[in-house]
A and B are shown apart, each in its own frame.
Chain A
C-alpha cells in the first residue's frame, strides 16, 4: 500500500478515536496533504467513503488503519520503554516503521513487549491476533544462529555485515536472507545444511547470522 494512503488512514482513525472526525480535523493531523485526488484514490480502493460533509473509513479501511496504527504505537513502545530512545527519535522512527514493519516482526515485538495495551501517549494499541490468543511464547523471534541446537530448522532473516568479504562469501554459497537451513551439529564446529550444501563454520561467523526459528 502506498505511503500516503497509510498516512490518510492513520489520520482518519486517530481523528475518530479522539471524537472529532470532521474533514478539517483529519486534514490537520494528516502527515501528507489531503488532496481531493488522494481521497478519490482511496475511495476507489474501497478504503474511504465520502458524503457531502464527512469522510469516513469503510470496514476494510478501518481494518487497514488499525494495522498501521498498531504498528506505529508498538514501535513507539519498543523504542521508548525497551530501547530508551529520546522522544524525538521515537516520533521519527515510529512514523517510518509503521510503513515498513513486516507482520512476523510486528507479532514478535508485541509478544516481546508483553502485549502492551497503550502507547507512550496513552492511546490504546489496537490488539492483534497474538494479543487475542495471548501468546506468551515468541515463536517468531530472530535469534543468532549460534542459539540453535542440532536438528533445528530456521530461515535466515539477516546477516550482520561486520566484514564485507565474509558476507560476500556467505552470499555466494547461497546463505542469503530467506534461505531455509537446518543445523546438523554444533560441536566442534557448527554445521548447517540447506538444499544440497553442507557448510561448516565457526561461532564467530554463526553469531552474525540471524534467523527465524521454524
Chain B
C-alpha cells in the first residue's frame, strides 16, 4: 500500500456486458459513466470460464484490472485447481485468489491495487465484427475513448452507450456509426450479443484449460446431496416443512416466548419500570409520570414494547433467516414452488422477493427487480404490500399468538396464505402482460458461517432500532397527547358505531389502528399491550392482528413502490388494498361470529 485512497463502487452481479436486463446493465453503465481507475473483476473460481469471458469483455474498456477469484474453497472441494500465477502471466494482470466469507485474500487484494494493469489479450471476434470495429474506430477518431468497447455496445444496441455517444459526437458521425452497426448486424445469423458472447466464451475456455485442472471427487459431498434432496418434490417438501418447523422453534418458542418473557416481563416489567416509577415519585408531577410510565408511557409502552417485544423476536428471526439466506436454500425452494407460483402469475423466482418480504417488505419490493416481466413485478408488489407480515410485525404476532391456542395460528397464517393465493390467482388471471418465464441459476448449498450471520443480524437490528424506535416513541407520544387533550375519546366515540357493527371491535381498537398507521408493528405491539390488560378478547385480537397486516402498508414500502413502479401504479395498488382490507375484516368478523370460534 502506498497510501493511495480509492473509492469503491460495488455494482450488482453480471454475466456479460452485452446484457439487456435492468440490474445487469448497471455495471457497465457505471464503468462508462464514472470512468473508474481500476476494475476489480470478482469471479467465481468454480466457474473460471465464465469469469474469464466477463473479464475479456471488460478488458475492451482498456481500464487497469485485477481479477479476484473468489470461493476458492468451494472450487477445491469440487476438485478444481487453478494455477493463479500462470493465469496472471497469461492475462498480464494480477490475479488474487480469495475466500471472502472467511476474510482470506482480502489484504492481498488491497496490496495488488497498485499493480493493476490493462489486460491486452485480444480476443478474436467473428470477421464482420472485427471489420466493423476497425471502421468504427476510424469514424470515432478519439484516442481517449475506449473505441472497441463502445463499438461493441453500439453493435448490440445498448441505449446507455447510444446516449453517451449522442452527447459526445456530431450528428453526421453518429448517423454514420449507426448505419455501420445496422449493416454489420445484417451480416449475422444470430443476434450480435449471442455471437460475441460465444466468441469470448470460446477464448475463455482455451485460457481456462491451460491453467485449470479438474478432478472431481469420487463422492458427492454431503452438502451437495442435501442440495439435490431439497429441490426434489418427494424429499424437498418434507425438508421445507422441517425448515419451517425449525424456524418456528427458534423464533416462536425461543424468541417470542422465552426471550420476550425474560426481557419485557422481567427486565422492563419487574425491574426498570418500577425503578423509574420510584425515582419519579418524589417529583409529584402527575403528567410526567403518565407520559413516562402511564397507559401510553414512553417507557412503559413505547420503549418496553420496542426493546422488550420486537427486538428479541426480531433478533432470533434474523438469525434464522440469515441461515436460510446464506445457505443457498431459497433458489431450491423456488424450484419446488414453481408450479404453484405460476398459477399466481409469477414464477418460482417470485419466491425470492416474497420470502424476503417476511424480513422486510420495503427491501423485498426492491428485490422484485430480479423478476423478468413488469407483470410479475406488479403482482409481487401487490402481494407484498397487501398482506405480508414483515419481521417486526411477525415478531409481535408471534408474541400475541403464544397466549392463544393453536387454532389462532391456523386462522392467522391460514388467512394470510389463502388471501395471498386468491389475490395472486386473480391478478395472474386479469392483469395484462406477457407470460413470464422461469430461469434461475441454482448456487451450491453451503454451510453458513455463524459469525457472518451474527454480524448481519446485529447490523439489521441496529438499523431497525435506529429507524423504528424514534417512530415507535413518536407513535406512543401522539397517543399520549391525543389522550391528554381528550381527542382520543372523541375519535373513539365517532368510530365506535362503524367498528362495533361492522367489525365487532371495541372503541379502543382505534388506538391500534392509529398507531398502525404510523408504524405497523407499533400498532401490533399496542394491541398486545391492550390484550394483556384485557381490553380485547381473543377473537377481537385475532381479527385486529389480521387487520394490522392487511390495512396499512408501511410508509417506506409505499415510497419504494412509488420509486419502482411510479405514482399511478402505486395509487392503483393502494386504492385496491384499503377497501379490500376493510371488506376482508368484515367478512372475517362475520365468519367468526357465525362459527362461534374461540382462540383460548
Q: Which residues of A have CB within 8 Å of B96?
A: none
Given the contacts A191-B335, A198-B441, A167 and B194 also touching, CB distance less than 8 Å: yes
What 1/0 mask marks residues of chain A from 177 to 203 whose CB sits below 8 Å from any chain B CB? Answer: 000000011011101000111111110
Are B442 and A174 touching (Cβ within 8 A)? no
A172 within 8 A of B: yes
Are A168 and B338 touching (Cβ within 8 A)? no
In angstroms, Cα B455 to Cα A151, docked, is 41
Q: Which residues of B have CB within 8 Å of A199?
A: 439-442
B246 within 8 A of A: no
Q: Which residues of A have CB within 8 Å of B233?
A: 187-188
Are B19 and A191 touching (Cβ within 8 A)? no
Are B440 and A176 touching (Cβ within 8 A)? no
Are B16 and A200 touching (Cβ within 8 A)? no
What 1/0 mask marks residues of chain A from 160 to 179 whose CB sits below 8 Å from any chain B CB? Answer: 01001111111111101000
B231 within 8 A of A: yes
Query: What are 9 A-B pairs with beta-carbon distances under 8 A?
Result: A171-B16, A172-B16, A172-B18, A172-B50, A174-B50, A185-B335, A191-B442, A201-B440, A202-B437
Are A195 and B47 touching (Cβ within 8 A)? yes
How large, as a class, is the contact surface on chain A? 20 to 34
Q: Which residues of B have CB within 8 Å of A170?
A: 439
A51 within 8 A of B: no
In angstroms, Cα B198 to Cα A172, docked, is 8
A97 within 8 A of B: no
Q: Which residues of B have CB within 8 Å of A36?
A: none
Are A196 and B231 touching (Cβ within 8 A)? no
In angstroms, Cα B204 to Cα A174, docked, is 11
Q: Which residues of A have CB within 8 Å of B435?
A: 204
Are A188 and B336 touching (Cβ within 8 A)? yes
In angstroms, Cα B149 to Cα A173, docked, is 21
Interface residues of A (CB under 8 A from B): 161, 164-174, 176, 184-185, 187-189, 191, 195-202, 204-205
Name B441's contact: one of A166, A167, A197 (CB within 8 Å). A197
Query: By DSSP majority rule, is chain A's interface helix, strand, loop, or mixed?
Result: mixed
B348 within 8 A of A: yes
Closest Cβ of chain B: how far from A178's Cβ, in Å?
A: 9
In angstroms, Cα B197 to Cα A171, docked, is 7
Are B438 and A202 touching (Cβ within 8 A)? yes
Q: Which residues of A have CB within 8 Å of B347?
A: 202
Q: How many residues of B contact A (CB 8 A)?
A: 43
Name B47's contact: one of A166, A185, A197 (CB within 8 Å). A197
Are B228 and A184 touching (Cβ within 8 A)? yes
In angstroms, Cα B21 to Cα A197, docked, is 21
Name B191's contact: one of A167, A173, A176, A202 (CB within 8 Å). A167
In angstroms, Cα B213 to Cα A60, docked, is 41
In angstroms, Cα B438 to Cα A169, docked, is 12
Q: Which residues of A have CB within 8 Å of B570?
A: none
In the complex, the chain B residue whose C-beta lies closest to that of A174 is: B50
Q: Which residues of B have CB within 8 Å of A174?
A: 47, 49-50, 201
Q: Which residues of B have CB within 8 Å of A172?
A: 15-16, 18-19, 50, 53, 197
B20 within 8 A of A: yes
Are B437 and A173 touching (Cβ within 8 A)? no
9 closest A-B pairs by beta carbon, nearest first, are A172-B16, A172-B15, A202-B438, A198-B442, A189-B338, A171-B197, A188-B339, A164-B191, A188-B338
Are B190 and A167 touching (Cβ within 8 A)? yes
Name B198's contact: one of A166, A176, A191, A196 (CB within 8 Å). A176
In the complex, the chain B residue whose C-beta lies closest to that of A202 is: B438
Q: Which residues of B have CB within 8 Å of A196?
A: 46-47, 78, 80, 444
In angstroms, Cα B50 to Cα A204, docked, is 25
Given the contacts A172-B16, A172-B197, A197-B441, A202 and B49 also touching, CB distance less than 8 Å: no
What 1/0 mask marks residues of chain B from 418 to 450 whose CB sits below 8 Å from any chain A CB? Answer: 000000000000000001011111111000000
Are B231 and A185 touching (Cβ within 8 A)? yes
What 1/0 mask marks residues of chain B from 189 to 204 whose CB sits below 8 Å from any chain A CB? Answer: 0110110011001000
Are B440 and A200 touching (Cβ within 8 A)? yes
Q: A188-B348, A189-B339, A198-B441 are in contact. List 17 more A-B contacts (CB 8 A).
A: A164-B20, A165-B20, A166-B439, A167-B190, A167-B191, A168-B191, A172-B53, A176-B197, A176-B201, A185-B232, A187-B233, A191-B335, A196-B78, A201-B440, A202-B437, A204-B437, A205-B438
